[in-house]
Structure 1
């Protein structure tokens, strides 16, 4: 793929995303000029949209973890909900075609993608450490909570000031032990 082709593909994909966000009908916008020539099939287009979704979700997860590193599940739930709000057209398309794929190949690809996302969410949220079915179910729960708008409390950071007490340093403690 040439540099110009790469940029042209990116421009077409952005037009598809803008169209999906404007329509909010969950239908792949195969009618956008340049889509049939650039992507060729519904599976190729939905694959590109899924890649955009996962990239945006990963970025939002990183931002949430920096903002609230103590409550992993809340951070991941908030990141998913934020991503869905930022690119609602993509989310609707992925959901629609996962639930009602146009063919068996798309069904397999989207089912695999969804399960891998659930496992990733569970792992990052600290709910799983493997790629098992229970891990996928934990990730599915995170997604379900994000979709339902389950309020996720953001832990409040508080600072307490302790009365100034002379605490011996590590070196002082080691000297005391050696002297004893």
Structure 2
């Protein structure tokens, strides 16, 4: 992948996330311009969104742990909620495709991703080790606790007008 295609893919992913956060309908925005070229398939796009979610979640957990290193479980739950607030459209897409994958390949990928994320939550909360067979089960309990106290913010259906800087970046990228 060349530097330009990498940058183009990153910019396309940012547009996908912005669209998903605006729509919050759980659908992959394959209809956006450039998405099919940058990602090729629904599974590739879903994988990129899952990675963005996981990366943001991991960073948020680290920040929560810096603020309160004594209450690991609270930090993990708070981080999950904060990440869901930051990426509500991505969370909706991940949840939708966990429940209703488009094909067997996507179902297998989402099952693996879910197990790994839940094990990660358990490890970061100090409730399991990475090699613990029950880590995903413990992480599922943490995720359930996070979801129980998470109240998605209301949807603003008025999209932000692009700033001059955004328009200049888009023109330079083209």
Q: Which TM-score tier does this pair reach, normalised by the shorter chain?
A: 0.7 to 0.9
Q: Quick check: 1:16 aligned with 2:11?
A: no
Q: TM-score of the superposition, structure 2-length normalised?
A: 0.84
User: 1:100-139 counterparts in 2 under 5 A?
Assistant: 100-139=100-139
Unaligned runs of 5+ in 2: 151-174
> Partners of 1:24 and 1:135 in 2: how far apart?
30
Q: 1:139: Cα distance to partner?
A: 0.4
* Structure of greater relative contact order (alpha carbons < 8 Å, 6+ residues apart): 2
> Partners of 1:122 and 1:105 in 2: how far apart?
26
**Which residue does the alignment assign to 1:41?**
41
SS class of match (1:79): helix
> Partners of 1:36 and 1:63 in 2: how far apart?
35
SS class of match (1:127): coil
Q: TM-score of the superposition, structure 1-length normalised?
A: 0.81
Q: Structure 1: which 4+ aligned runs deviate by more than 3 Å? A: 130-133
**Which residue does the alignment assign to 2:79?**
79
| Contact 1:115–1:136 under 8 Å retained in 2 | yes
How many residues are paired up?
A: 150
| Contact 1:64–1:78 under 8 Å retained in 2 | yes
| Contact 1:119–1:131 under 8 Å retained in 2 | no
Moved more, 125-134 or 31-40: 125-134
RMSD: 1.0
> Partners of 2:136 and 2:87 in 1: how far apart?
23
SS class of match (1:44): helix
SS class of match (1:131): coil
Unaligned runs of 5+ in 1: 151-180
> Partners of 2:149 and 2:131 in 1: how far apart?
26
SS class of match (2:134): helix
**Which residue does the alignment assign to 2:165?**
none
